[in-house]
Amino acid sequence: MTDDTTDRVRQRYAELATTAAHGATCCTPEEQTVFGASLYDLGDLGTLPATAAQASLGCGNPTAVADLHAAEVVLDLGSGGGIDVILSARRVGPAGKAYGLDMTDEMLDLARANAAEANVPNVEFLKGHIESIPLPDATVDVVISNCVINLSSDKPAVLREAARVLRPGGRFAVNDVIVDAEMDDATKADIDQWTGCIAGALTRDTYIELLEDAGLVGIEITETHRVHPHAASAIIRAHKPA
């Protein structure tokens, strides 16, 4: 895939943000069983603006696996409509903060509106690319993400940047898609499969290698459910040495 992939990803998610802002769901009933709001606790969903849930396109629930604590600073890579930023902000409380980073104006507009409606003041949404995070070194305690890293055309840069902004001892806790090693070349070359979170995903072994190269340790990858005949959603955890 070329740099054009980023533009295609931006276009797709801008369209999905517009769809959610108008009160419609983005996914087919079949897709909703493995992606989106169905993967969240109903109690959490009941406290969120409807458009935050409708814009949820992830393959898991990172706030449920990140073990967030009061007063922590959290960064969500590819924050979309803001669902995980809002939930994180509530978990870390008023002494903490939740950042959301996204490259798509439509998603940022939607996320800011959702955060305002949810009345969570300890959030900040940043425009930028996850390959070049617009935060200083050692800024955050936890990096989360929900099915976004697979969309990047430079995943080593994403993981290096995640490690850079983590404080010593900080945690990396994301949901992402991992692919089987035998995925066929036609699927890998399909731009629709890429923007749909499948074709660009890493294998388990490559993910581990890149996390290690970024300087993260304690790596754990746990498959949760299949999202494609040759791909699965997984919880991926690691931390920065203290």
Q: pLDDT digits over 139-151, tens only?
A: 999 999 998 999 8
Give average pLDDT by consecutive 10-residue segment, the chain, 242 residues: 65 70 57 68 77 76 90 96 94 97 93 95 97 98 94 94 98 94 63 56 95 98 90 95 95
Q: pLDDT digits over 176-185, tens only?
A: 999 988 776 6
Q: What is the pLDDT of residue 21?
A: 66
The pair of three-digit structure tokens given for residue 182, joined into one six-digit string? 């035998």
- Integer-rounded Cα Rg, in Å, for the chain is 16
Whether residue 214 contacts residue 156, with contact meaning beta carbons closer than 8 Å, is answered with yes
- Reported pTM: 0.86
Cα–Cα distance for residue pair 235/147, rounded to 1 Å? 10
CATH superfamily of the domain spanning 4-239: Vaccinia Virus protein VP39 (3.40.50.150)
Q: What is the pLDDT of residue 7?
A: 76
User: How far, rounded to the nearest angstrom, does the alpha carbon of residue 221 sit from its chain's CA centroid?
Assistant: 16
Cα–Cα distance for residue pair 210/203, rounded to 1 Å? 11
Query: What number of H helices and E strands is found in the chain?
Result: 11, 8
Whether residue 18 contacts residue 10, with contact meaning beta carbons closer than 8 Å, is answered with no
Q: What is the pLDDT of residue 26?
A: 53
Q: pLDDT digits over 79-101, tens only?
A: 989 999 999 999 999 999 999 99
Q: What is the pLDDT of residue 133?
A: 98
